[in-house]
Structure 1
Amino acid sequence: MAVAFIGAIGAANPTPASAAGMKVVVVVGPVGSSTKNYKKSARRYADQARSYGASVTEVYSPNASWKRVKAAAQGANVLIYLGHGNGSPSPYGGFSKYTKDGMGLNRSVGHGNRNTKYWGEYYIKTEIQLAPDAVVILNRLCYASGNNEWGAGNPTKDTAKKRVDNYGAGFLRAGAAAVFADGITDASYILSGLFTTGKTIGEIFRSSPSWVGKYDFKFASRETRGRTAWLAPYAAHRYYRSVIGELDLGAAEFRGS
C-alpha cells in the first residue's frame, strides 16, 4: 500500500560533487488518486539529481510496466521507487517471492493509475542488475521501512525488523550496496548526501532532518549475510525510516564505482 506524505523538505544547494556518468532512475507506480502527488515528489528528486550532473530516466504510471522499468533500471547507480508496497509479513497471507518485497507497477501500459501488479523479490534479483555499489531509495510505500499500512496501527518491533530485512533482500541481491526506505518523509537528503558529501551510508541516514535518535536500533541481517539494518522510528513503534546494507560505504566510493 501507499502512505501519506509528511513534509517536503527541500534539499540545500551546496556545490555539487561531480555526478557525470552516474545513472539515476526514478519510478512511480500506480497509486490511484495519489499518483499525481507521487509524481510531484518524483520530479523533484529527478531535478535534484540532474542538478548534480547525473543522467536521469523517469518511468511513471500509467506507463510504468515491468518491461519498461526493468529496461530502465539496468546499470542504475540510484534507483528510486515511489508507489504501493507489498511486504512481508503482512495481513495478506504467506510470503510469495513473485509478489512480495518488490514494486507495484502498471499491469498494462496506458490504462490508468489503478491497474496494479506486484513484481516481487524474485523478479528484482533475477532480472535487474544494478551498478556496483548502487543505492535504492524506497519512498512513500508501506512495509519497506517496517511500517503498517496507513491507519492500521503500529507493528511490533520483531515484525518491523523482518519487513526491513525482507524488503531489502531482493534489491541487495540485484547489486545494491544499500536500500533506504522513507515511508512518509522527504528523501532528498539521501541524494544530497550521496552526490555532495563524503559521508558514509550510515552517516547519510543519520543526517535526515527527521532524525530523532532516541528509538533507533541496528541488527545483523538474517536474509543477506554480512549486511546491517538500521531502523530509526521517530517515536516508539513508528517505523517510517530504515536503511539496510553496507552502512560503512562512503559516498566518494559510491561515486567512484
Structure 2
Amino acid sequence: MVTPTPYGAGSSQPSASISCFRSNPDNDVTLSFGRPFQIGLVGTTVQTSTTLPTGSSQSVNGQIVTQDLTTSNDATGLFYCEGSSRDLTTRVYSIIHSENRRFEPVDGLVTKTVNKGEDVTLSVITVNSGGSPLWRRTRNGAVNATLPIANQASFTLPTTDVDDGDLYTVIGSAVTLADNHFSMIRLIVRDCDAGKWNPTDCEGVCNLCYNGGVCNDETGDCICPPGFSGLNCLTGGLSV
C-alpha cells in the first residue's frame, strides 16, 4: 500500500490518495479500506472517523486499487487496506499528513521499524510555525493523553514501553487542531532480534535486505519498499 501524497491532505494539486497493490495468486481479491481506529485527538475533523473521507472514490487499474480521498483535510490520518484469500487475511497501512502540518518525521519516514528488545527514538522537525511539539500515543485505539513528553522534538522510549502498532501523534502547542495539523509516526516491532526470524525461538538468519528493505520476522524474506523487488530488494521497478 502506497501514497503519492504523504503530506498532501487538503491539497487540490493533486488530491490525496492511497493505492493497494494485489499480487499473485490473489490478483482479484476484494479489498476493503478504512481507518483502524478513531484518532481521538479532540478538535480535529477526524477525531471519531473510522471510514474514508466523505466523497472518496475508487478506481481499479489491473492489480492496483486506488482510493481518491478528495481534497479535504479529512484525508489526514492512518488508513488501512485489507484483503482475505485462502483463509488468510492481510492488512497493510499508509499515513497521510495535512499540508498544514506543523511537524513531520525528521527522516521523512512515517513508520519506524525496530527489533525485539530495542529502544526506539522518535524525532520530528518543524515545518510550519505553531508552538512546541506535544506528543500523544494511541495504543489499541486508546489515546494516552498523559504521555510525559512535552516540548521535545526528539525522545527515546525504552523497549519496555514499546508495542507493535503504536501510533505517535505530534501537535503544535499554540494552535487549535481544526486544520488537522497533527503529525504521525507508527511503530513496527519485529518479534525477533536484529538479523533473526521465526519466533519464538528466532533461530532463522535473515536475508540481507537493501534499499530500505526489512526482514520479515515470520518468513525471513525481505519486505521491499515501493520501487524495489527481488530476494534482497536489489531490483528496481515499480514507480508510483
- For the aligned pair, the TM-score class normalised by the smaller chain equals 0.3 to 0.5
TM-score (norm 2): 0.33
Question: Does 1 or 2 have the higher relative contact order (CA < 8 Å, sep 6+)?
Answer: 1
Structure with greater strand percent: 2
The structure with the larger Rg is: 2
TM-score (norm 1): 0.31
